[in-house]
Each structure stands twice: as structure tokens, then as C-alpha cells.
Amino acid sequence: MTYRAPINDMLLALNHGAGLQAAVKAGHYGDYDSEIAAAVLEEAGKFAADVLAPLNRTGDEHGIKLENGGVTTAPGWPDAYKRWTAAGWNAVSGSEDFGGQGLPLAINAACTEIWSASNIAFGLCPLLTLSAIEALDAHGSSELKNIYLEKLVSGEWTGTMQLTEPQAGSDVGSLRSRAERAADGSYRISGTKIFITYGDHDMTDNIVHFVLARLPDAPAGTKGISLFLIPKFLVNADGSLGARNDIYASGVEHKLGMHASPTCTMTMGDKGGAIGYLIGEENRGMQCMFTMMNQARLGVGLEGVGIADRAYQQALAYAQDRRQGRAIGKKGDGMDAIIVHPDVKRMLMQMRALTAASRTICYATAVALDVSVRATDPAVRAAAAARGALLTPIAKAFSTDIGNEVTSLGVQIHGGMGFIEETGAAQHYRDARITSIYEGTNGIQSIDLVTRKLGVNGGASVWALLDELSETVKRVETSNDPAFGTTGAKLRDALGSLERASKWLLERLAAAPNDALAGATPYLRLFGSTLGGCKLAEEALAARDLSDIGNPERYVTLARFFAENITVQAPALERTVIDSADGVNGADAVLLP
């Protein structure tokens, strides 16, 4: 079972649900040619199907090996990576100043979905490199940029992000890795980092590590953290590789999934300290990290979308192939393909609708991030930045929750075969599970949504979005298309629920913050379910005006299914946010009697 990028769905989501077309029309994308998205996605889909998808099982089966201080990836992976960089895929959204193609993040987001769908463990490596590029581009000295940025943009070298230590996970501020100032202006870093994705591998000649550490005289907590660039091999003045630096993979994790992606324990300082170069200012490392977090979190959300779509495609093919039982009322001999059974149809529709909604949410986040840097009007940029900031935790958490739900449905549709590893459905289920944990657990995303994105401006970002969504719902209500069923009513109810829950949270944030935190997770779900429902409805409305989309009514049915199965839960989620804080905050008596 291979993977085919669903180009039509992706373009509909990108151009209409996510608002790329409107932003282009408004001039925020300069001279961007609207034909380019289709062309890029078509090519990306081919590369993914031909090169990456076939290596997905291989990677899972072989995993990676740590031997003699170096990590070996699965057979075929280094070669695939070289083809990937040679084809220019690493450089899609990179700055043209450093050899990149300078395409919108929105297009790269669609590509990220494709890489994740075809081979999530492979796609994770360039995601990390992208974060590294962003940190270096935004905060690095021009000297460091000149040495490292072009190689990172092309993908000739990969990047890592090294935050986590055994005692410092979600609580980054408690990290202990030490950096000492050296006489030449560089630093000597020592310490141990864990859970470092692609901390070592054999796909490139060099790896550029971005490491958080603490200077001897640094203040405690997050205000005393600095960011350092630490190359695996030092780079000579002529750009050639020099000595091996004192940073080594000292262990790799045995994980539930993502077997092909090395998760390393990194040790620095066994030989006197890794030579590192400061990024940004001393003690301002957290700020550097924050600037790149939006895109990294969006990237993980897109992993959720991608793995969900892969699981959907595989389940759909199985459901058309596997014959068991017969359709109601069918006469004669022989079994039917299981897709005739309503319960199987329901599961497939659920998979498809959840995937489509999370796709559009992620793409809309990317469009907002694009506009926040590309628009010329500062007010437009600021509004887009606020929108991007608001959507990011939803894109990350909602989409990755969906990745888990959809891959689980994928297993279920396979029946007993789903539990057998060679079928491949179980791998998607295993691989997806980390996405709701890393790059900030989904609980952290919910808290970020409530405390920072809702709370930061008294709800202004939320009200602005609700106004837009309300317009969409009005168009559904006045469309008079009976195929929408109860979609309009469900979406309207959901908007009310989201508004009331937001107001309640704002009030509690001030009066009793633990009450607000108790409702953060159901609030994020409420937000995603409402937003996703409106976005799919918007796409359904747009599809009716498009000539090249085939039967547009299928998008209406999909939007309807989402509204009647997912968005319909909004009022209950509102009540959970508001009613259950007492139960949550009274948990100790139950849990620790």
C-alpha cells in the first residue's frame, strides 16, 4: 500500500479553507503565482510516493543502530535523503539569500503533510532542520549565518534542537547543561541532553546542533538560558570540515514508534567541552526558542494530518478489498467488500472528516504566519501574527489528537489484521503517538491557548476569529442546500458555546486560574471542533463555485458529517469547561485518599 497525495483536497483546503487565495488577492503574497502550489504539490507527491513511502516499513523494521559512537539509519535512508536534498525539497521555504526557494510557508506546510504521510520518521529530520534554520536566521550573527545557513537550507547538513534533560522536560527552565566562556569568544559546553531527534545519523557529513545551556553566572530559571550552535564537526575557514567536536550520541531510545528516527542521548564535555557559538544574546536563549516554536509546533500538527491521511488511505483501500458479510437486503451468493457496511462507512467518514478539518486548521495557521511576515501593512501583519499565535496550539494539539484517533480507526477497520504488524496499520498507530507529546505536550498547548492566546489580549484574537466564522455559518444557513442537513444549526450552536466558554475562562483566569487551567483541554477540543466544522463548511461552499473539483456535493456531505458528528459535541464541551473545574480541582481526595 503506497501513498497518493490528495492534491485536490489539499488545494481546496489551502486556497479556500485556509484563505491563501484571499491573502494573495489582498496582495499579501506579492507576485506569487497561484499556479505554483499545484505544481509543487504534484511533484512532492511523486517524490513521496516513489522514494519515501517505500522506505516507511523498512525504516520501522530495521530501526537505527548506535555503534562506535555513531548512528546508522535503515537501509536506503541515506540515499533517499541525498535524493531529497538534490531535488531541492529541503529548501522550499528557505530564504533566497541562502539558496532557498523562498516559497510561502503555506506551501511548505502542504509539503510537510506529504512527507509526514509518506514517511513520518523521515519527514521529522527536515522539520528539525527547519527549526534550526529559523533560529539561526532570526538570531545568528552574520558570520555564523555565512558558514552554516546555506548548508542547512539545502539540507546538506541537518539541524537538531536540544532542550530536554532528564529533569527538564516541559519545565525547560530547570536545565543544567553548562557553558563556559572561552578566550576566543566561543564557548565550551558540557552536559547531557535526552530525547534528541536525529541527534546523530549517517545521512549527512555534518550535523548542526542547537543547544540550550546555562552560563556559570546565569540567573535561575528560564531567564538564565542561552542558545548555542554546536557543529558535530568544526568548520574550517574555507568551509571544509575540521576536527570532531565533543558532542556524541551516547545512547538511543527503544521506542513505541518512529523506529527509523534516532532519539539520542547526547553527551557533551567528556573531552573538555563541546565548542559552541552563541546565538543571540547571553541568557536570551528562551526568546530565541520562542520565535521558532510556532513553526515547529505547526510542523508537528502537520505530522498529525499526514499520518492520519496515510492511515485513511490504507483503510479505505482495505475496506474496498476485504470481503466479509453482505449488504442489507442483498440477494445471491458471495460476500461484499466491507465498505458496504454502514459502520465501516462511518469509520472511514470519521477518518476523512477529522483529517480534512485538521489539515485546513494547519494550513490556515501557515497562511497567518506567512501574512505576518509578508504583508506590507503593519496592522495586517500584527493581526496575522495574533491569528497565527492563536491557531498554533490548536493546529498542534487538535491535529495530533486526530492523528491518534484516525490511526486507531485505521487499525479497527483492518479487524484482526490491524493488530498484525506486517499489515502496516499498527505502525501508523505507533508512530502517531509521539506527536501529541513532543514539541510541547497537548496539555501544554491547551494551557498556552487559554493563558497566553486567549488571555493575553482579553480574548480579542478569539472574538476576531469568531466574527469571521460567523460569516461562514451565515452563508451555510442561507445556502438553502438541503445536503448540508443540520450543519448550519450545529455550527451556530458551536460558535455560541465557544464564545461562552471563552468568556468564562477569561473571567476565571483572573479570579481563580486553576479553574481555567482545569478546562484547558476540553476548551481546545471545543475550539478545534468548532473551527474545523466552519472551515470544512467554507470549503464546501467554495467547491460549488469551482469547475475542476468534480462533484462538489461530496464536500458538502463531508462538512455535514463533521458538523453532525464532531462539532455537535461543542455544547457538551462548553458545559465540561464550565461545570467540571470543581471536580478536577477536587481530584486529590479521589486520587490520593
Based on CB atoms, which residue is closest to its own copies, 257 or 459? Answer: 257
Based on CB atoms, which residue is closest to its own copies, 62 or 381? Answer: 62
Q: How far is the CB of 17 from its own copies (least distance, A)?
A: 16
Catalytic annotation present for 43 = no
Which of 64, 167, 171 has its CA nearest to residue 124? Answer: 64
Based on CB atoms, which residue is closest to its own copies, 179 or 509? Answer: 509
CA distance 55 to 311: 16
Based on CB atoms, which residue is closest to its own copies, 372 or 400? Answer: 400
Q: How far is the CB of 335 from its own copies (least distance, A)?
A: 6
Which of 553, 539, 533 has its CA nearest to residue 9? Answer: 539
Asked if 257 and 430 touch (Cβ cutoff 8 Å), the reply is yes
Quick count: other Cβ atoms within 10 Å of Cβ 151? Answer: 23
Please give the angle made by the CA atoms of 464, 469 and 474, to the nearest 5 degrees.
130
Q: Angle formed by the axes of helices 105-139 and 36-47, to 10°? A: 90
CA distance 314 to 254: 26
CA distance 260 to 56: 8
Based on CB atoms, which residue is closest to its own copies, 262 or 522? Answer: 522
Q: How far is the CB of 387 from its own copies (least distance, A)?
A: 25
Q: How far is the CB of 571 from its own copies (least distance, A)?
A: 7
Is the four-CA dihedral 95, 100, 106, 108 of positive or negative sign? negative
In the three-class reduction of DSSP (H, G, I as helix; E, B as strand; rest coil), residue 180 is classed as strand
Q: How far is the CB of 490 from its own copies (least distance, A)?
A: 8
Which of 208, 228, 344, 225 has its CA nearest to residue 279? Answer: 228
Based on CB atoms, which residue is closest to its own copies, 200 or 431? Answer: 431
Residue type, 40: V
Rg over CA atoms, the chain: 24
CA distance 314 to 222: 44
- Set of cell numbers at residue 6: 490528495
CA distance 390 to 388: 5
| Pairing of the two strands 263-268 and 247-252 | antiparallel
Q: How far is the CB of 92 from its own copies (least distance, A)?
A: 29
* Residues in the chain, overall count: 593
Which of 220, 215, 167, 214 has its CA nearest to residue 194? Answer: 167
In the three-class reduction of DSSP (H, G, I as helix; E, B as strand; rest coil), residue 46 is classed as helix
Q: How far is the CB of 522 from its own copies (least distance, A)?
A: 8
Based on CB atoms, which residue is closest to its own copies, 28 or 214? Answer: 214
Q: How far is the CB of 324 from its own copies (least distance, A)?
A: 4
In the three-class reduction of DSSP (H, G, I as helix; E, B as strand; rest coil), residue 71 is classed as strand
Name the DSSP letter for residue 242: E
Name the DSSP letter for residue 48: I
Q: Which residue has the cell 546555506?
A: 150
CA distance 270 to 139: 28
CA distance 562 to 539: 13
Query: Partners of 229 in the beta sheet?
Result: 210, 277
**Of 439, 538, 539, 574, which is the active-site residue?**
439
Based on CB atoms, which residue is closest to its own copies, 184 or 333? Answer: 333
Based on CB atoms, which residue is closest to its own copies, 462 or 568? Answer: 568
In the three-class reduction of DSSP (H, G, I as helix; E, B as strand; rest coil), residue 342 is classed as helix
Q: How far is the CB of 426 from its own copies (least distance, A)?
A: 4
Based on CB atoms, which residue is closest to its own copies, 139 or 352? Answer: 352
Q: How far is the CB of 527 from its own copies (least distance, A)?
A: 15
Q: How far is the CB of 444 from its own copies (least distance, A)?
A: 8
Name the DSSP letter for residue 416: G
If phi > 0 it is left, if psi is from -120 to 50 it is alpha, else beta; for residue 175 that is: beta
Based on CB atoms, which residue is closest to its own copies, 43 or 564? Answer: 564
Q: What is the 3-state secondary structure (H, E, C) of 93-116?
A: CCCHHHCCCCCCHHHHHHHHHHHH
Task: Count Cβ atoms within 10 A of the Cβ of residue 84 and give its class: 0-12 exposed, 13-18 middle, 19 or more buried.
Answer: buried
Please give the angle made by the CA atoms of 384, 390 and 393, to the nearest 5 degrees.
130
Catalytic residue numbers, as ranges: 439
